[in-house]
Amino acid sequence: MNKICTRLFQTVILLDRQYLITEHLIESTRGVLPAFEQAMEEQQQGLPYVLAVYNYVFGLVDHLVRYEKIAFSLPILNQKSAEFRTFAAAMGNLKDIRNQLQHINNEIENDNSGPLLGTVCWISNGDQFLVSFKEPLKNPLKSIQIQD
């Protein structure tokens, strides 16, 4: 029992620290998406805006997957509980996305259609934004804003 209590204590501390790291990422990069949106309004499609969006999203995905792994290692967490199933469903296939980004699944060519690093999209104030590297890489920037 003492070993389980020690592991539980350590896991809770690690989970709290990972939460703080993830929260810091979100707070410190809060302006990345609005900066991209402003650049689109001003018809600027500079590489720094695109790279900032990718860095933010890739970092966020990685931190969320790390949080999930820590949470799922809690020694007393029942995997059949409603809370566990809800959390697992909310995380979806984020781990697969992280693995594709992190390792490119050990292959450059794969069955996924679209850009190798994927596309980042979001909605802000009723507008849809999409960021991706255009294929082929002759003109590597492709960014659009769709208005309803």
- Is there a domain that residue 123 lies in? no
- Look at residue 127 and tell me whether its pLDDT is greater than 50: yes
User: Are 58 and 100 in contact, with CB atoms under 8 Å apart?
Assistant: no
Distance between CA atoms of 67 and 16, rounded to whole angstroms? 9
The CA-CA-CA angle for residues 137, 61, 5, to 5°, reads: 155
* Domain range enclosing 55: 2-114
Parallel, antiparallel, or unpaired for β 119-124 and 127-133? antiparallel
- Is there a domain that residue 148 lies in? no
- pLDDT, position 137: 47
- Is there a domain that residue 87 lies in? yes
- pLDDT, position 121: 86
- Look at residue 147 and tell me whether its pLDDT is greater than 80: no
Domain count of the fold of the chain: 1
Strand arrangement, sheet containing 127-133? 119-124, 127-133, 141-147
pLDDT-derived band at 120 (thresholds 50, 70, 90) equals: confident
- Is there a domain that residue 95 lies in? yes
Q: What is the DSSP letter of 106?
A: G
- Is there a domain that residue 137 lies in? no
Tokens of 87: 């959390």
- Is there a domain that residue 122 lies in? no
